[in-house]
C-alpha cells in the first residue's frame, strides 16, 4: 500500500507500509525536460548525498529520519515516517511563545549542523517537521554539504531569512529573532561571523 | 471614457515609451537599446542615450498610438530598481510632462511591471514568475499583499553571464541569441558547476568554468550547449521549488532571456509535471519597454495611488517586496 504524501520539486514522497511499519519512500523521478546527463547526475548525487547527510546530521545531535534502504537504480530512499506536520503549516496557529520555542529549536538544529561544518542547503520551514510530541525534525538533505565554509553557512542563514520573509511575512521578525537566538546560543562566539556573512549576502543580491 | 497612460521605462540600457489604455490595450510600444561598440554598459552613457533619444521615442509612441499629448491622462515612470543616472533621466522626462500637461504622475516598480504585463497578456491571475534578463534573475510570487522574491541569483544575472561569455566567444552584445543558435550545433556535454542553494542560485562559477573550457580548446558550440543546459536546469529547479512551495498553478516566463526557446521548452516541462499552466511573454512585451510601465501605471492609478513630484525621487535599490500591491488581494 503506497500513497503520495507530497509532490516535491525534485521528488515524490510516498507513504508506505512494510514489515507492519510506516515508512516514507522518497523517489527522485526522471525529468524528461532536462538533458539526460544532468538529470541522472542530479538524481544520483542528491540521493546518495541525502542518505549520507541524514546520518551525519544525526551524529551531530539533530533529529532526522533514519534510512533503511537506498536504491541507486531507481533513486529511492526508504526512511522513517515522522508522524507530524510541516512547521510551515503549523506556524500561524501557534501561540507566540510556542512559535518562538520552535524557532529557537530550529535555529539550534541549524547551529548544531554548522558547528560540525555541515550546511543543510534548503532550510525552509517546509523541511522542518514537528511531531505529535512537539519534537522538531529536519528533513530533505539533498542539498546538504560537508566541510562548510563561512560563506556556505552564511548562505544557509540567508536562506532561512528568505524563507521567513516570503512564507511567514506577518511573523517574520519574531521568527527570525528567535531562530537566530537559538543559533547563536548554540554556536557561541563563532556565530557572529556566519551571521554577518548572512547580512553581506543579502546586500550582495542585485536589488536585495 | 477611455484612459490613456504614457509609460516611460529607463532603468538600464533601454529607453522605452508605451501607450496603454485602461482596458489593457497596448496602442504603441517604442524603444531603443544602447548597444555599446565594445564592453558593457556605462551608466552615464546609457543615461545620455536616454536623454538624447527619449523625446523622439515618446513622440513616435504618441504618433503610432494616434493620439496627441493633450489626450494623455496620466504618466507612469520606472522609479526603480536600476541604474541611478538612467532612472533620473527618465524620471525627469516624466515629471516635466506631468507638470506641462498637468496630469497625475504614477511611480512604477520595474520588476512588478514585468509581472503585470505578463499577467495582462496571459490572463494569469496568480502566477509564479520567472524573470530573467541582463540584470535580473528572480522567481517571484504574490503573497500577503506583496510580490515576494522567493529565489534569485546570489551573484550575477543569467543574461549577464550569457553576455559576458558571449563577449569572450567573440559575439556582439546581447549574446543570448547567438549562444542559443550555436548551442543547437553542440552535442558534447561538459560538466559545469551546478549551483542551486535552496531557491537561490549562482552563475559566477559557471562563467569561470566555461571560460576555462574555451582555453582548453573545447569547441564553442559544445560550450554554448553545456552552458545553456546547465544554466536552464538550475532555473528550472528553483522555479519548480517555488511552485511546489507556493502550490500556485501558473508559471510565467518573462524578461529578455524569455526569448530563448530551449529555456521555454524546459519550463514547459516543469509546468506539465506540476499540472500548471505556462506562458512565455511575447518578445515585444518581455524585454524592458514602456507598455509594461504604462499598464502598471493604470493599475496603480485605478487603485488610487499617484505621487507628488516633490516625493518622486528615484529608488535605485527598490526591492520588489517593498511595495504594497493595492490592486491585488
Check whether residue B281 and residue B291 sit in a common domain: no
Inside any domain, residue B213: yes
The tally of domains found in chain A comes to: 2
- The pLDDT tens digits of the residues spanning B25-42 come to 999 999 999 987 777 778
Check whether residue B164 and residue B250 sit in a common domain: yes
Check whether residue A97 and residue A174 sit in a common domain: yes
Q: Pick the residue of B151, B158, B242, B245 with the most A CBs within 10 A to test the interface with A by mutation.
A: B245
Of residues B141, B272, B319, nearest to A207 (C-beta): B319
Q: Which residues of A touch B195 (CB under 8 A)?
A: none
Cβ pair B269:A32 closer than 8 A: yes
Among A15-19, A169-173, B75-79, the range of highest mean pLDDT = B75-79
Q: How far is CA B209 from its chain centroid?
A: 27
Cβ pair A166:B273 closer than 8 A: no
pLDDT of residue A208: 40
Check whether residue A88 and residue A76 sit in a common domain: no
What value does the CA radius of gyration of chain B take, rounded to a whole number of Å? 20
* CATH number, residue A58: 3.30.200.20
Distance in angstroms (rounded) separating the CA atoms of residues A200 and A198: 5
Range of the domain at B76: 4-114+287-322
B237 touches chain A (CB under 8 A): yes
Instruction: Determine the distance in angstroms separating the CA of A3 from the nearest CA of chain B, rounded to an integer.
Output: 17
**For chain B, where are the alpha helices, taking DSSP H only?**
43-65, 84-101, 110-122, 158-168, 176-183, 204-215, 220-246, 261-273, 283-286, 290-302
Check whether residue A159 and residue A107 sit in a common domain: yes
More reliable by pLDDT, A178 or B134: A178
The tally of domains found in chain B comes to: 2
Residue in B closest to A88 by C-alpha: B245
Range of the domain at A94: 84-204
Cβ pair B200:A163 closer than 8 A: no
Inside any domain, residue B327: no
Distance in angstroms (rounded) separating the CA atoms of residues B242 and A181: 28
Segment B183-194 mean pLDDT: 96
Of residues A9, A205, A208, nearest to B237 (C-beta): A9
Check whether residue A34 and residue A130 sit in a common domain: no
pLDDT of residue A148: 95
Check whether residue B34 and residue B146 sit in a common domain: no
With 50 as the cut, is the pLDDT of residue A9 above it? yes
Q: Pick the residue of A7, A36, A38, A168 with the most B CBs within 10 A to test the interface with B by mutation.
A: A38
Distance in angstroms (rounded) separating the CA atoms of residues A43 and A167: 27
Q: Please give the positions of A annotated as active site.
A: 122
Cβ pair B318:A207 closer than 8 A: yes
Cβ pair A121:B197 closer than 8 A: yes
Check whether residue A42 and residue A117 sit in a common domain: no
Check whether residue A71 and residue A97 sit in a common domain: no
Q: Which residues of B touch A122 (CB under 8 A)?
A: 197-198, 241
Residue in B closest to A37 by C-alpha: B189
Residue B31 DSSP one-character state: E
Inside any domain, residue B329: no
Check whether residue B211 and residue B174 sit in a common domain: yes
- The pLDDT tens digits of the residues spanning B213-252 come to 999 999 999 999 999 999 999 999 999 999 988 999 999 9
With 90 as the cut, is the pLDDT of residue B202 above it? yes
Instruction: Determine the distance in angstroms separating the CA of A158 from the nearest CA of chain B, rounded to an integer.
Output: 10
Which residue from A208, A127, A111 is spatially nearest to A167, judged by alpha carbons? Answer: A127
* CATH number, residue B67: 3.30.420.40
Task: List, as one string, the DSSP characters of B91-142.
Answer: HHHHHHHHHHHT--EEEEEHHHHHHHHHHHHH--SS-EEEEESSS-EEEEEE
- The pLDDT tens digits of the residues spanning A78-123 come to 999 999 999 999 999 999 999 999 999 999 999 999 999 999 999 9
Label each residue of A7-40 as H, E or C.
Answer: ECCCCEEEEEEECCEEEEEEECCCCCCCCHHHHH
Check whether residue B142 and residue B259 sit in a common domain: yes
Of residues B148, B265, B317, nearest to A33 (C-beta): B265
Instruction: Determine the distance in angstroms separating the CA of A207 from the nearest CA of chain B, rounded to an integer.
Output: 5
* CATH number, residue A105: 1.10.510.10
Q: Which residues of B touch A38 (CB under 8 A)?
A: 189, 194, 229-230, 233
Check whether residue A70 and residue A146 sit in a common domain: no
B318 touches chain A (CB under 8 A): yes
Strand partners, B75: B6, B105
Mean of per-residue pLDDT scores for chain B: 95
Of residues B81, B154, B196, nearest to A204 (C-beta): B154
With 50 as the cut, is the pLDDT of residue B136 above it? yes
Phi, psi (deg, nearest 5) at residue B171: -95, 160
**Residue B302: how many CB atoms within 10 A of its CB?**
12
Amino acid at each position: 500500500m503506497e500513497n503520495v504524501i507530497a509532490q516535491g520539486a525534485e521528488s515524490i514522497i510516498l507513504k508506505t507500509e512494510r514489515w507492519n511499519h510506516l515508512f516514507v519512500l522518497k523517489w527522485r523521478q526522471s525529468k524528461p525536460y532536462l538533458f539526460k546527463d544532468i538529470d541522472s547526475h542530479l538524481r544520483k548525487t542528491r540521493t546518495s548525498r541525502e542518505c549520507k547527510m541524514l546520518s551525519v546530521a544525526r551524529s551531530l545531535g539533530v533529529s532526522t529520519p533514519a534510512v533503511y534502504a537506498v536504491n541507486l537504480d531507481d533513486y529511492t530512499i526508504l526512511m522513517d515516517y515522522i508522524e507530524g506536520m510541516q512547521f510551515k503549516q503549523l506556524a500561524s496557529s501557534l501561540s507566540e511563545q510556542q512559535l518562538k520555542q520552535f524557532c529557537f529549536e530550529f535555529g539550534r538544529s541549524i547551529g548544531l549542523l554548522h558547528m560540525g561544518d555541515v550546511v543543510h542547503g534548503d532550510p525552509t520551514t517546509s523541511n522542518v517537521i514537528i511531531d505529535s510530541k512537539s519534537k522538531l525534525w529536519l528533513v530533505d538533505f539533498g542539498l546538504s554539504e560537508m566541510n562548510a565554509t563561512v560563506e556556505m553557512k552564511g548562505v544557509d542563514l540567508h536562506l532561512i531569512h528568505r524563507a521567513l520573509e516570503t512564507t511567514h511575512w506577518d511573523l517574520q521578525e519574531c521568527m527570525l529573532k528567535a531562530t537566530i537566538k537559538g543559533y547563536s546560543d548554540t554556536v557561541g562566539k563563532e556565530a557572529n561571523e556566519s551571521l554577518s556573512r548572512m547580512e553581506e549576502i543579502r546586500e550582495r543580491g542585485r536589488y536585495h | 471614457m477611455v484612459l490613456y497612460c504614457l509609460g516611460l521605462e529607463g532603468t538600464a540600457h533601454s529607453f522605452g515609451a508605451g501607450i496603454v489604455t485602461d482596458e489593457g490595450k497596448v496602442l504603441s510600444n517604442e524603444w531603443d537599446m544602447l548597444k555599446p561598440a565594445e564592453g558593457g554598459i556605462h551608466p552615464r552613457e546609457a543615461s545620455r542615450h536616454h536623454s538624447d533619444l527619449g523625446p523622439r521615442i515618446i513622440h513616435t509612441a504618441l504618433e503610432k498610438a494616434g493620439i496627441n499629448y493633450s489626450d494623455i491622462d496620466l504618466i507612469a515612470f520606472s522609479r526603480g530598481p536600476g541604474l541611478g543616472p538612467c532612472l533620473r533621466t527618465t524620471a525627469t522626462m516624466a515629471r516635466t510632462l506631468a507638470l506641462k500637461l498637468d496630469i497625475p504622475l504614477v511611480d512604477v516598480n520595474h520588476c512588478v511591471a514585468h509581472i503585470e504585463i505578463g499577467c495582462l497578456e496571459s490572463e494569469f491571475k496568480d502566477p509564479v514568475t520567472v524573470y530573467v534578463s541582463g540584470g535580473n534573475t528572480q522567481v517571484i510570487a504574490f503573497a500577503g499583499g506583496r510580490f515576494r522574491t522567493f529565489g534569485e541569483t546570489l551573484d550575477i544575472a543569467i543574461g549577464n553571464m550569457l553576455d559576458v561569455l558571449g563577449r569572450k566567444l567573440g559575439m556582439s552584445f546581447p549574446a543570448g541569441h547567438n549562444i542559443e543558435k550555436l548551442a543547437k550545433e553542440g552535442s558534447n556535454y561538459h560538466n559545469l558547476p551546478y549551483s542551486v542553494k535552496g531557491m537561490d542560485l549562482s552563475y559566477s562559477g559557471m562563467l569561470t568554468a566555461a571560460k576555462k573550457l574555451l582555453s582548453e580548446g573545447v569547441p564553442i558550440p559544445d560550450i554554448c550547449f553545456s552552458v545553456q543546459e546547465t544554466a536552464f536546469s538550475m532555473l528550472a529547479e528553483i522555479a519548480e521549488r517555488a511552485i511546489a512551495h507556493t502550490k500556485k498553478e501558473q508559471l510565467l516566463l518573462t524578461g529578455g532571456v524569455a526569448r530563448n526557446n530551449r529555456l521555454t521548452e524546459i519550463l514547459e516541462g516543469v509546468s506539465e509535471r506540476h499540472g500548471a499552466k505556462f506562458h512565455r511573454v511575447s518578445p515585444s512585451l518581455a524585454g524592458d519597454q514602456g507598455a509594461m510601465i504604462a499598464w502598471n501605471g493604470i493599475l496603480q492609478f485605478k487603485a488610487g495611488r499617484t505621487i507628488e513630484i516633490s516625493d518622486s525621487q528615484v529608488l535605485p535599490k527598490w526591492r520588489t517586496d517593498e511595495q504594497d500591491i493595492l490592486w491585488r488581494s
